[in-house]
Amino acid sequence: MNLKPIAAIGLLAVGIGAVGVSVFGIGLPASTSTVTYRTATAATTTVQQTAAASGTLVAATRYELAFGSAPVAIDGTASSSSSSAASAASASSVSNASSGAGGASLTVTWPVTAVKVAVGDLVKQGDTLATADTTTAELAVRLAEANLAAAKEQKATDLAGGTDTARQAAKDQLTSAQQSLANARASYAGTVAQNNISLSRAQDQLDAANAKYTADKAAGAPADTLTADKASISSAEDNLTSVKLQIAGSNRQASSQVTSAKSQVTSAQRNYTQATSSADDATLANDDVAILNAETALADAKTALENATLVAPMDGRITVVNAVVGEESTGTAVELQSLQLATTVSVGESDILSLAVGQDATVDVTATGSSLSGRVTAVDPVAASSGSSSVVSYTVTVLLDEAAATAATTTTAAASATPAATPLAGMSAEVTVVIAKAENVLAVPAIALSGTSGSYTVRVLNSDGTVESRSVQVGLIASDYAEITSGVTAGEAIVTGSSADKTTTSSSSSSGTGSGRDGGGFGGLSGGGGFPQPPNGGGQMPGQ
């Protein structure tokens, strides 16, 4: 899947074309045997070392748009748990946007009045996607404004202090509130105790039903007896479920009474403090906190009202539409995905150190037959193991270029467009990352190299038919080509093999993947030219 410059293709075409040269007794034992040489021409091309892996395309960015919430971009390559957390945060901000600080509150609802998109639609930034009724949202703003005014008034009262009459009235109120709290706590304790008894009884009934069934089954009871036993178990389970639901509601109600009584005590205590003395620093600080909370609630309510109309925050494709005209919308109403795509792949430990943010990549989409350009945008340094296996992998993210998104939009919008020609999220992709590259350099097939790092040689077929072993300086080595910095010139015929090569040598030279390392998640590094790797391992710089 590695893409090479046209010059590289030319090099292969010239070099691999069965060049036969017969040499009679030149540099060989005195015999009449004939040796035929295979050659390639040293030429200027691009040498690059790559790594490959399989992945799945995802949208680079997506939005889960909810009425009452400002749009928040979600990384398309993030885990589902992170996305779920973002969705939950959005839903929470919608339901609580109208809550007043220390005052009344109102739950905002979003009856849908219009839906202007469907799944699969392409939209532009700023397009209206859906609208909802703003009645409760407007009330929430008014309520938040009233709560803010009340919080400010409370601070003014605290600063003023109180009278003798106010002190006595405040004391009576506090005493009454404290008694109510004590009663509520006692009632809660009694309710919980009684509910625990009911739960225990229901559980005992289920245990008894299970025990009877087990005993009857062990005793070989008739089928109708076992059927009756199972019915008893089912009934006991239903009863236990019902009891649990009743207990939950009862405990909630009792707890709510305690909470309400605590609130009354807090309010009474505040009133008593105000009536008996001028407000202290703590009270004034609480007033300031209440004002701040009320201001925040007002801002949230205004934001919710502004987002009663869902507007596309970017160009993209609609992938989810949950909003239905005439029904209340909760949670995600519309999901919008970017046309720009990305993919994540797993990389083995032997390859991860060769990868870095910013490296160029090519993404081949099997379903469309298209080849898209991109770059590495993230290399996760934290390894993940697979079950009990000792093999570890690292996650690498590749972001496709914006041009791919533009092409997708153009292709889909065209009247004669073929849907299959547009890469879509969810499609399988083959990713090739360029780890190292040397452009416009003199290169020969890597198989032509002999020796080790620092002392490489190649064989050159001269015009008179003689073969010369020549020392060369080598730059970047990939599995297909090797960069030559000195020792040969462009146009010279480089020997890549001959009819005299031993079978074992030929077999050895045709193996290797270009990296000389275990594959890991990328399955080894490759240069993509089909030539075998030199003895010291392809893709390495001499001396490294």
DSSP secondary structure, 429-488, as one string = EEEEEEEEEEEEEEEEEGGG-BS-TT-EEEEEE-TTS-EEEEEEEEEEE-SSEEEEEES-
**Where does the pLDDT of residue 421 fall: very low under 50, low under 70, confident under 90, or very high at 90 and above?**
low
Partners of 311 in beta bridges: 128
Going by C-beta distance under 8 Å and a sequence separation of 6 or more, which residues neighbour residue 204? none
Q: Which of 92-101, 302-311, 435-444 has the highest mean pLDDT?
A: 302-311
pLDDT at residue 447 tops 70: yes
Q: Which residue spans within 353-407 are E strands per DSSP?
A: 360-365, 370-379, 384-385, 392-400
What is the separation of C-alpha 510 from the centre of its chain, rounded to a whole number of angstroms? 40
Return the percentage of the chain with pLDDT > 90, whole number.
42
**Where does the pLDDT of residue 104 fall: very low under 50, low under 70, confident under 90, or very high at 90 and above?**
low
Q: Where are the alpha helices (DSSP H) in 311-401?
A: none
Q: What is the C-alpha to C-alpha distance for residues 289 and 184, in angstroms, rounded to an integer?
A: 28
Q: 409-418, 447-456, 459-468, 475-484 — which is least confidently predicted?
A: 409-418
Q: Is 413 exposed, middle or buried (0-12, 13-18, 19+ CB in 10 A)?
A: exposed
* Mean pLDDT computed over 406-428: 60
The answer to whether the 54-59+339-433 and 63-73+87-142+304-337 domains have the same CATH topology is: no
**Where does the pLDDT of residue 392 fall: very low under 50, low under 70, confident under 90, or very high at 90 and above?**
confident
H/E stretch holding 114: strand 112-115
Q: 96-100, 111-115, 333-337 — which is least confidently predicted?
A: 96-100
**Where does the pLDDT of residue 275 fall: very low under 50, low under 70, confident under 90, or very high at 90 and above?**
confident
* Mean pLDDT computed over 165-177: 83
Domain ranges of the chain: 6-48+438-526, 54-59+339-433, 63-73+87-142+304-337, 162-277
pLDDT at residue 206 tops 50: yes
Please name the CATH architecture into which domain 54-59+339-433 falls: Beta Barrel (2.40)
pLDDT at residue 538, as a whole number: 38
User: Selecting from 3.90.1150.10, 2.40.420.20, 3.30.450.90, 3.40.50.10700, what CATH number does the domain 6-48+438-526 have?
Assistant: 2.40.420.20
CATH 2.40.50.100, applies to 63-73+87-142+304-337: yes
* Mean pLDDT computed over 474-489: 91
Number of neighbouring beta carbons within 10 Å of residue 440: 11
DSSP readout, 137-171?
HHHHHHHHHHHHHHHHHHHHHHHH---HHHHHHHH
pLDDT at residue 428 tops 70: yes
pLDDT at residue 318, as a whole number: 95
Q: What is the C-alpha to C-alpha distance for residues 119 and 107, in angstroms, rounded to an integer?
A: 29
Going by C-beta distance under 8 Å and a sequence separation of 6 or more, which residues neighbour residue 135? none
pLDDT at residue 540 tops 50: no
pLDDT at residue 539, as a whole number: 38
pLDDT at residue 505, as a whole number: 38
**Where does the pLDDT of residue 515 fall: very low under 50, low under 70, confident under 90, or very high at 90 and above?**
very low
pLDDT at residue 75, as a whole number: 87
**Where does the pLDDT of residue 347 fall: very low under 50, low under 70, confident under 90, or very high at 90 and above?**
confident
Q: Which of the two residues, 424 and 502, has the higher pLDDT score? A: 424
For 342, the token pair is 């990305």
Number of neighbouring beta carbons within 10 Å of residue 289: 13
* Mean pLDDT computed over 208-225: 89
**Where does the pLDDT of residue 85 fall: very low under 50, low under 70, confident under 90, or very high at 90 and above?**
very low
Return the percentage of the chain with pLDDT > 70, whole number.
75
pLDDT at residue 124, as a whole number: 96
User: 3-state class of 367 per DSSP?
Assistant: coil
* Mean pLDDT computed over 234-241: 90
pLDDT at residue 112 tops 90: yes
pLDDT at residue 46 tops 60: yes
Q: 30-34, 103-107, 327-331, 399-403 — which is least confidently predicted?
A: 30-34
For 296, the token pair is 């925040």
Q: What is the C-alpha to C-alpha distance for residues 383 and 518, in angstroms, rounded to an integer?
A: 17
Q: What is the C-alpha to C-alpha distance for residues 88 and 74, in angstroms, rounded to an integer?
A: 13
3 CB-side CA count, 13 A: 14
Q: pLDDT, tens digit, for every residue of 64-81?
A: 999 999 999 998 887 654
Q: Which of the two residues, 279 and 300, has the higher pLDDT score? A: 300
pLDDT at residue 285, as a whole number: 92
Q: 240-254, 327-341, 379-393 — which is least confidently predicted?
A: 379-393
Q: What is the C-alpha to C-alpha distance for residues 425 and 404, in angstroms, rounded to an integer?
A: 12
For 425, the token pair is 């999220």
